[in-house]
Amino acid sequence: MENNNETLVGLLSHYSPTGSVKNAADFLVQKMEMIGFDKSTTDSIGNVIGIKGNGPNQIVMLGHIDTVPGEIQVYQEGDVLYGRGAVDAKGSLAAFTDAIAAVSIHSDWQLIVIGAMDEEGESNGARFICDQYQPKFVIIGEPSQWNRITLGYKGVQNSILSVQKSKTHSSIGKSSCDILLENWQQLRFQVNQFNDGKSMFDQILASVVKMDGKAEDFEMEAEMVISTRLPESITPKIWVNDWLGKMQDVQVSTSNPGIPAFKADKNSTLARAFLGAIRSGGGLPGFVNKSGTSDMNIVMPKWQCPVVAYGPGDSTLDHTPNEHINIREYWQAVDILKTVLIRLGVGSLLQ
């Protein structure tokens, strides 16, 4: 492995599933200090914060340092580097770090790289920073491949559907499971009608995570846990009240208020800077909307500024046992990030 891959390889070598990120965070703080950041530290809940520049205009580059569980041996075959988080999303976080290290920041700008903890959990890292920065631009670190930018992420709402009723003989009445399944089938029919002719990003994507039924003494109970990815037009509150709330004889509960969908402006100054940078790097730029949810959904309703998500890697490898990244693509993404910063007037390349 070449020395110039040290940021990426080092991050991958420090396995950091959600809740166990300290070793990886300590590595990145030290690495940032070594390569010229003005300040690098962890905040009170464990986010890595790296700062370069002292100007009043902030750009926040928000990645995450935690990964899903499932450690993968870190090794390289040719141009391919394997390891948990190579794509989701230590590749992006390392690219942010290496790009900023290569740029001299103008006096009126400040660049802030954040390696958030808990993105794969409840996004507590992103929630914690919402009130601490006032950025002019935001770049979210998630894989999009080097020549594409992500504009939108769907919303999400997890819900519990349950039916309780007095026990009856199976020959003379419906069970609680029957009632719950009939309601689920009717809901799916309504969802399919809503989705007809719409793109993925504008559809409702509902799936059953778990289902259970039991009968004790005089009572029967059925329970179904569902996870629903939501379009911009349907907030979690609307989904729970106007869709799930109309089910017959079904109790609906949620453990959290859900996360609304978010979609960025493709004509923003930031998006145009990325499109120009990708073209100048020999690529054909493209836009992506994702069916998942990211920290973009958490911070942008508060920050309300131009944003894109960007990072190297193939997102279909997220969470897989075969997660890997192409080193050449990684450095292409670093070059794109440097060019974007120059196009935005933030800095110039170090000689």
Residue that is written with structure tokens 């914690």 in the block? 128
Catalytic residue among 88, 98, 119, 335: 119
DSSP structure class, residue 111: E
**Domain end marker among 200, 229, 253:** 253
Decide if 33 is catalytic.
no
* Residue 141 lies in domain: 3-153+261-349
141 and 203, same structural domain?
Answer: no
Instruction: Read off the DSSP letter of residue 244.
Output: G
User: For the chain, which residues score pLDDT lower than 70?
Assistant: 1-3, 167-173, 217
Looking at residue 295, its pLDDT comes to 97
**Tokens 């590749």 belong to residue:** 91
CATH number assigned to the domain comprising residue 219: 3.30.70.360
- Its pTM stands at 0.92
The predicted pLDDT at position 195 comes to: 98
Cross-strand partners of 168: none
Same domain as 200, residue 64? no
Same domain? For 146 and 173 the reply is no
Same domain, 17 and 86: yes
Residue 255: the pLDDT is 85
Number of domains in the chain: 2
Q: Do 67 and 82 belong together in one domain?
A: yes
The DSSP secondary structure of 65-95, one letter per residue, reads: --B-S-----EEETTEEE-TTTTTTHHHHHH
Question: How much is the pLDDT for 173?
Answer: 67
Domain CATH for 66: 3.40.630.10
Instruction: Specify whether 7 is located in the same domain as 131.
Output: yes
Q: What is the reported pLDDT for 172?
A: 58
The pLDDT, as a whole number, for residue 2 is: 40
Looking at the structure, tell me whether residues 228 and 109 fall in a common domain.
Answer: no
Residue 93: its pLDDT value, please?
98
Q: Is 199 helix (H, G, I), strand (E, B) or coil?
A: coil
Active-site residue, 119 included: yes
What does the alpha-carbon distance between residue 337 and residue 98 come to, in Å, rounded to a whole number?
9
Length of the chain: 351
Out of 66, 88, 329, 335, pick the active-site residue: 66
- Residue 190 carries which DSSP code? H
Q: Which residues pair with 273 in a beta bridge?
A: none
